[in-house]
């Protein structure tokens, strides 16, 4: 397809089938963008997903093929879903099913490359024609409206939250090829005044966009639309760690979660960044039960010339705040490790180490109160907890790497 980069969604139950289709496609279109989805391994496609960012969806399966045929029918029932090429590695039935709009069936125990390429081209042509008709409708642009802001390339599904700085939406990103969380900055930035919150918003993107780590949120897009900044990031339908902690966590699960968060902290600390607002609500779960660190809105790069929050201003959540942060003293990576220690204590015991009637009472306890007794059943973790939650940073783990080394020993039977 000269003059265009083909975008394909490739759905397969077996890795070798996906690889085979990919090779056939890339021989014809070396610059094709192919996003793979593994049935039975990846999270199910979400109900709101329409493959808006793809030219064609290819579903490949072998006998018994009932599952992939059911999936094709389910996706085809969605309004505006991309055309589907259903590639069935089996002999064609007699008689063959009637042709359905938006669905192209291919049969054969081996893939006929010429037939596959022609079918993809036919399906893509149909898709372009459908899009042209869709764009001609007077209300087409409304799908890209987020409140008063028009952000093309992102289809609004619904608003999911709001705060003092951003309104948060669930959207389908044509660029990412899936659902994303879209944060839209509420205020029009005045560059001459260097709005602190706007600087933080942009800084959040700058920090995490450059980090490719499995336990750090993926950022897909950042831009300005109608003079409002926005950021598109990974969507987490499984919720956050706070929700997960409502159910009792086993000690091995708590240790596994501790390790993953520590790994994310090691990555951000290595580039001179502190999180400064580490808490369960800022740790998300993927459907495979892995964790992901988000919300760097309070993060601060160590090498910035000017602190965005001011030298004596307190930011963070008191329950998880280190003694030095609660008293507006200088902080470093060991402050994040203290916050992680509070989370580990809560994951193990089901309660926070320090509570109080007011934020200042909690802050005082972090600085002065003794750590509550550790139950005997958590004795093997007591040393780790006491080092993480030491009042003085000098008595804590000095780095996330040091903590990870200790976790490795705890995971290894004596």
CATH code: domain of residue 94 = 3.40.50.2300
Q: Looking at the structure, do residues 253 and 394 belong to the same domain, yes or no?
A: yes
Q: Is residue 13 part of a domain?
A: yes
Across the chain, which distance is largest between two alpha carbons, in Å? 80
Q: Looking at the structure, do residues 256 and 304 belong to the same domain, yes or no?
A: yes
Instruction: State the SS3 of the chain.
Output: CCCCCCEEEEEECCHHHHHHHHHHHHHHCCCCEEEEEECCCCCCCCCCCCCCCCCEEEEEECCCCHHHHHHHHHHHCCCCCCCEEEEECCCCCCCCCCCCCCEEEEECCCCCHHHHHHHHHHHHHHHHHHHHHHHCCCCHHHHHEECCEECCCEEEEEEEEECCCEEEEEEEECCCCEEEEEEEECCCCCHHHCCHHHHHHHHHHHHHHCCCCCCECCEEEEEEECCEEEEEEECCCCCEHHHHCCCCCCHHHHHHHHHHHHHHHHHHHHCCEECCCCCHHHEEECCCCCEEECCCCCCEECCCCCCCCCCCCCCCCHHHCCHHHHCCCCCCHHHHHHHHHHHHHHHHHCCCCCCCCCHHHHHHHHHHCCCCCCCHHHHHHHHHHHHHCCCCHHHCCCCHHHHHHHHHHHHCCC
Q: Is residue 43 part of a domain?
A: yes
Which one of the listed residues 221, 240, 277, 295 is annotated catalytic? Answer: 277
β-strands 33-38, 7-12: how paired?
Answer: parallel
Q: Looking at the structure, do residues 316 and 373 belong to the same domain, yes or no?
A: yes
Q: Of 88, 114, 135, which residue is a domain's last?
A: 135
Q: Is residue 213 part of a domain?
A: yes
Q: Residue 413's pLDDT is what? A: 62
pLDDT in tens, the chain (414 residues): 544 589 999 999 899 999 999 999 999 999 999 999 999 888 888 899 999 899 999 999 999 888 899 999 999 999 889 999 999 999 999 888 888 889 999 999 999 999 999 999 999 999 999 989 988 999 899 999 999 999 999 999 999 988 777 899 999 998 888 999 999 987 655 544 445 556 665 766 777 788 889 999 999 988 888 888 898 999 998 999 999 999 889 999 999 999 999 999 999 999 888 898 999 999 999 988 899 999 875 555 554 333 333 333 445 579 999 999 999 889 999 999 999 999 999 999 999 999 999 999 999 999 999 999 999 999 999 999 999 999 999 999 999 999 999 999 998 765
Q: Is residue 100 part of a domain?
A: yes
Q: Of 176, 199, 234, which residue is a domain's last?
A: 234
- Total domains present in the chain: 3
Q: Is residue 330 part of a domain?
A: yes
Burial class (CB in 10 A: 0-12, 13-18, 19+), 222: middle
Q: Is residue 11 part of a domain?
A: yes
Judge whether 42 counts as a catalytic residue. no
Q: Looking at the structure, do residues 95 and 164 belong to the same domain, yes or no?
A: no
Determine the structural domain holding residue 53 and report its residue range.
7-135
Q: Looking at the structure, do residues 294 and 367 belong to the same domain, yes or no?
A: yes
> pLDDT tens digits for 238-270?
999 999 999 889 999 999 999 999 999 999 999
CATH code: domain of residue 311 = 1.10.510.10
Q: Of 234, 252, 270, which residue is a domain's last?
A: 234
Q: Looking at the structure, do residues 148 and 185 belong to the same domain, yes or no?
A: yes
> pLDDT tens digits for 186-232?
765 554 444 555 666 576 677 778 888 999 999 998 888 888 889 89
Q: Looking at the structure, do residues 329 and 289 belong to the same domain, yes or no?
A: yes
Q: Looking at the structure, do residues 90 and 50 belong to the same domain, yes or no?
A: yes
Phi, psi (degrees; rounded to nearest 5) at 181 = -95, 125
Q: What is the model's pTM?
A: 0.82
Q: Is residue 2 part of a domain?
A: no
Q: Is residue 1 part of a domain?
A: no
Q: Looking at the structure, do residues 104 and 121 belong to the same domain, yes or no?
A: yes
CATH code: domain of residue 167 = 3.30.200.20
Q: Looking at the structure, do residues 263 and 400 belong to the same domain, yes or no?
A: yes
Q: Looking at the structure, do residues 255 and 180 belong to the same domain, yes or no?
A: no
Q: Looking at the structure, do residues 182 and 287 belong to the same domain, yes or no?
A: no
């Amino acid at each position: 397809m000269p003059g265009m980069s083909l975008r394909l969604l490739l759905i397969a139950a077996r890795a070798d089938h996906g690889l085979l289709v990919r090779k056939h496609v890339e021989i014809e279109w070396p610059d094709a963008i192919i996003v793979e989805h593994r049935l039975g391994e990846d999270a199910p496609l979400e109900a709101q997903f329409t493959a808006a960012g793809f030219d064609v969806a290819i579903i490949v399966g072998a006998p018994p093929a009932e599952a992939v045929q059911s999936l094709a029918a389910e996706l085809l029932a969605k309004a505006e879903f991309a055309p589907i090429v259903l590639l069935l590695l089996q002999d064609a039935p007699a008689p063959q099913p009637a042709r359905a709009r938006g669905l192209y069936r291919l049969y054969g125990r081996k893939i006929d490359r010429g037939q596959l390429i022609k079918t993809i081209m036919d399906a893509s042509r149909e898709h372009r024609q459908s899009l042209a008709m869709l764009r001609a409708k007077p209300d087409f642009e409304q799908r890209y409206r987020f409140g008063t802001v028009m952000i093309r390339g992102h289809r609004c599904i619904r608003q999911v939250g709001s705060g003092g700085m951003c309104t948060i939406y669930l959207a389908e990103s044509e660029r990412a090829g899936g659902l994303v969380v879209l944060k839209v900055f509420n205020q029009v930035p005045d560059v001459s005044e260097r709005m602190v919150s706007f600087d933080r918003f942009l800084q959040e993107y700058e920090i995490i966009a450059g980090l490719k780590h499995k336990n750090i949120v993926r950022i897909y897009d950042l831009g300005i639309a109608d003079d409002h900044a926005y950021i598109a990031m990974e969507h987490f339908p499984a919720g956050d760690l706070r929700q997960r902690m409502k159910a009792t966590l086993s000690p091995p699960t708590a240790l596994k979660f501790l390790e993953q968060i520590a790994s994310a902290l090691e990555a951000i600390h290595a580039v001179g960044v502190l999180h400064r607002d580490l808490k369960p609500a800022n740790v998300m779960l993927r459907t495979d039960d892995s964790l992901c660190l988000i919300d760097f809105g309070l993060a601060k790069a160590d090498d910035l010339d000017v602190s965005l929050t001011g030298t004596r201003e307190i930011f963070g959540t008191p329950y998880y705040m280190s003694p030095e942060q609660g008293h507006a003293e200088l902080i470093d990576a060991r402050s994040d490790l203290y916050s992680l220690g509070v989370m580990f204590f809560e994951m193990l015991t089901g309660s926070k180490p320090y509570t109080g009637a007011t934020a200042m009472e909690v802050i005082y306890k972090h600085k002065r109160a003794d750590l509550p007794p550790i139950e005997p059943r958590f004795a093997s973790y007591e040393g780790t907890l006491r080092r993480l939650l030491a009042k003085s940073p000098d008595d804590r783990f000095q780095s996330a790497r040091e903590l990870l080394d200790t976790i490795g020993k705890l995971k290894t039977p004596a």
